[in-house]
Structure 1
Amino acid sequence: MTLQILHRDDLERGGFAGLREHRLVMNPQVFGSAEEGTLPGIGNFVYLADAKFIPNGETHLHPHKEIDVISVIVEGRIAHKGTLEEGNILQENQIQVQRAGGEGFAHNEVNPDNKENRMIQLWVIPEKSGEPAGYKLYDLQQGKVIRVYGGSQGQDETFPSKTVMDVGLLDVNQKITLDDKFIVYVTKGSGIIDGEKVSNGDLIQGTNLEFRATEETQIILISVEDRS
């Protein structure tokens, strides 16, 4: 697959309620249509939005069903309200994963501060319908890449799926590789992929990943595991 690089700031900025966002991934089979310039995703990964909440802004309470919602806090804080883990305050470099399943959940994400924050929201369709609702929270660590979604059945560190998501805080010159199709989103810092410089706000799709950070970098990596 030829390397595709999508620049967030080339896309139209939208939003609703108290947030303003760029949508970079919108699967037309899920949404009926996709905004111009967006990519359809990979595996069961169907949506990515890069959002900034206005000071004290909120999404307002709204429901989800049969979707897994992953929220990566890039800057600032989020006060989480809703039917799962009401009252959590999410800090920068934390990742919240909510499984709606057949049971469903409702949530309202709120900026509790008098300044803008930034959150990346990603959606993945669960492989098995009718699952109970669930909630997980992860902390990033400098110099490490951690699994926050997907993996084999029989473990409970993450919600199982062939579509996997890893998030890393990379040191300067730290490398990550993957011998498969991938989507990467750079949310802080910059690096080199196949000789191409990429930086904050760049979404990259390709095959056989070789990424080297040129400064301290936060990165989201989505791929599909082959268990055949």
Structure 2
Amino acid sequence: MKTVYHNADTRGYADHGWLKSYHSFSFANYYNPERMNFGVLRVLNDDQVASGMGFGKHPHRDMEIISIPLEGDLEHQDSMGTSAVIRKGEIQVMSAGTGVQHSEFNRNKDQLVKFLQIWVIPNKMNVAPRYDKISIRENEKLNGFQQILSPNPDDEGVWIHQDAWFYLAKFEKGNSNEYHLNRPENGVYVFVLKGSVKIGDQVLETRDGYGIWEVESFTLEATEDAEILLMEVPMQLPQ
């Protein structure tokens, strides 16, 4: 088993006034050659957007872009004609493919928007751009792993062009569960949204990240009530 630990305080940070963003991996003006990615997981940004502000229309291509709201209402518009609002309890995915432009704004006048922006390098390039979002409220599994993303359009959650699986987990203090990888060549990046958990001898606090690979399974134990995002991704970058 191989591991890498990223303390929350070691993340990159940008304060643009209207936007405060923590970067688990190199992004924009934050560059760390040892923190470029975890396998095909390229970006994990922990963003906070001021009321009425947001990201103006900008382009992407050949990237799977996942947004998970944590607080507030995030308004999405794109060049495919999509106009949608996503809230906590939902997940949004956009396959940029051959090219797409989109914008993201906080539509609230008196509340911050907090959300995770995640980029995954796809296993197929030049695909037709695509947008989707789903509600994940109804399928919450206490002290278990709730699948919210996979490579399979007919499976639970949204899907992307990559052999990746994402899970949300809510654990009560003292509870534990074993996570089994879907593919042996994958790794898992564990990101603690709230609380404290333990994997082996490693204790993870709020906003800590922990990458695990070359393992078939591992046990996650909550040392406090906790919410966790697990991102299982291929460790080999596409050729």
Match of 1:224 in 2: 234
Superposed CA offset, 1:34-67 (max 9, x none): 6238623233221111111112220111111111
Pairwise mapping of residues 46-85 of structure 1 onto structure 2 (< 5 A)? 46-84=42-80
Distance 1:155 1:225, change over 3 A: farther
Pairwise mapping of residues 27-38 of structure 1 onto structure 2 (< 5 A)? 35-36=31-32
Distance 1:43 1:2, change over 3 A: closer
- How many residues are matched? 218
Is the deviation greater in 176-185 or in 58-67?
176-185
Which amino acid is the alignment partner of residue 160 of structure 2? Answer: F
Match of 2:177 in 1: 175
Distance 1:38 1:150 in 2: 28
Given candidates 98, 103, 108, the residue that maps to 1:108 is 103
Pairwise mapping of residues 1-228 of structure 1 onto structure 2 (< 5 A)? 1-14=1-14, 16=16, 18-26=18-26, 35-36=31-32, 39-84=35-80, 86-102=82-98, 104-113=99-108, 114-140=110-136, 141-143=139-141, 144-151=145-152, 158-162=159-163, 164-172=164-172, 173-179=175-181, 180=184, 181-207=187-213, 208=215, 209-213=218-222, 214-224=224-234
Distance 1:7 1:38, change over 3 A: farther
Distance 1:37 1:174 in 2: 34
Distance 1:126 1:3, change over 3 A: closer
Q: Is the 8 A contact 1:138 1:148 kept in 2?
A: no
Distance 1:111 1:34 in 2: 24
Distance 1:106 1:196 in 2: 41
Distance 2:147 2:228 in 1: 12
Gaps of 5+ in 2: none
Q: How high is the TM-score relative to the length of structure 2?
A: 0.79
Which amino acid is the alignment partner of residue 95 of structure 1? Answer: I
Q: Secondary structure at the match of 2:9?
A: helix
Which amino acid is the alignment partner of residue 210 of structure 1? Answer: T
Gaps of 5+ in 1: none
Distance 1:160 1:87, change over 3 A: closer
Is the deviation greater in 193-202 or in 207-216?
207-216
Q: Secondary structure at the match of 2:83?
A: coil
Q: Secondary structure at the match of 2:191?
A: strand
Distance 2:81 2:170 in 1: 29
Distance 1:50 1:8, change over 3 A: same
Is the deviation greater in 5-14 or in 107-116?
5-14
Give the RMSD, CA atoms, in angstroms: 2.8
